Amino acid sequence: MNENQNQVTKQTHAAFPWKQVIGLFMSLALTFFALWIAVGLSLPVPVTITIIVGLAIVQAFIQLFMFMHVTEGTEPVHQLIGILFGIYVAFVVVAGTLWILAYAL
């Protein structure tokens, strides 16, 4: 370890960031597609929700692979713990909210 290098300074400016640009357009497309399904079509509510949730999962993978360098890094265990904690929190907030508000829905 070079003790005087606090940050990664060697940035490569050579290649055009195709991955990020494609990711940007794909996430924009997915977002507007979801909006169109909810606003533009009048599908039954469960169908709409199913499609939107499906699109959201695709969106999450695009974020992870196109922008967030999930395949890189020296300590994959950090990524794993982070993703597991994220799944835990997402499950808790969705399942908990549905359970808590079940009487009111």
Chain contacts with another protein (rule: CB under 8 A) = 1, 3-7, 9, 75, 78, 85-86, 88-89, 92-93, 96-97, 99-105
Shortest Å, Cβ 80 to another protein:
13
Question: Residue 103 gets which letter from DSSP?
Answer: G
Cβ-based nearer residue to another protein, 54 or 73: 73
CB of 11 to another protein, least distance (A): 8
Half-sphere exposure of 42 (CA within 13 A, CB side): 0
Exposed, middle or buried: residue 55 (CB in 10 Å: 0-12, 13-18, 19+)?
Answer: middle
Q: Which of 87, 71, 89, 91 has its CA nearest to residue 79?
A: 71
Q: How far is the CB of 74 from another protein (least distance, A)?
A: 9
61 or 88, CB closer to another protein? 88
